[in-house]
Amino acid sequence: MKILAVDAGNTRIKWGLHDGHGWEARGSTDHGQRQSLLVAWSEIPAPELIVVSNVAGPETRAFLEGGFECWDAPRRWISSRVEQAGVQNGYSNPTQLGCDRWAALIAARRLSDGAVCLVVNAGTAVTVDALGRDGHFLGGLITPGPDLMKRALAGSTTALGLEPGVFQPFPTSTANAIESGTYQALGGAVDRMAELLRYRDASEPRCLLSGGAAAALRPHLRLSVQVVDNLVLEGLVIIAREPDPQ
């Protein structure tokens, strides 16, 4: 079965056409350039099922609905559940968990072979989610992503700007101090969660890292890291192959 998986995030819309064995086609675009999706989709084989994670709001949903009209394929707009595909949702209100994080957790469960793991998605925001070896989602962190963190700092101070900087262990310029502080803070958040998991489970967690800022963040993490191009899309395909609970 050909499945079109669509991940509509805060900044970008990512998509992929999966043929049951691998990705037949993939792409992404900023929301401001989303009309280009219609061109890209006109060049791919017709999907038999469409599955979508949307955290970008109702306007984006309406746009995507219009884009899907060219195909006679059922659509599944996912939401977080109490349990699905071997993952149990530990949120006090399971529906409050972002559907993109839910899909990423489901992909991580499959990819980690039952190991304790941290699921890190580094984009506009950075989420750091803890997944037990039994598939129980323990909880997670949300922090601003690197670009958002730097813009917030520049916008809230008069003396600091957004000049490009490089990472230094001991920064010797303001631009480098901002760049280094950003990645030290994000790396510290991931490492702290890893430490808590080690204490809880007496085992070394695996880290599955995804998102647009994954490559920049990876060098600042002190644990074993597996970079996955798009955990959300991988999770959407798994969800699509599960029975629809509705």
Show which residues are catalytic.
Answer: 100
Closest to 224 measured CA to CA, from 176, 191, 185, 188: 191
Residue 112, helix vs strand vs coil: coil
Helix, strand and coil in the chain, % to nearest 5: 40, 25, 35
Q: Crossing angle of helices 99-111/231-240, nearest 10°? A: 80
Cα within 13 Å of Cα(7), Cβ side: 32
Partners of 142 in the beta sheet? 127
Residue 113, helix vs strand vs coil: coil
Q: Beta strand 136-144 with 125-131: parallel, antiparallel or unpaired? A: antiparallel
Contact call for residues 193 and 118 (beta carbons, < 8 A): yes
- Angle (CA) 23 112 13, round 5°: 40
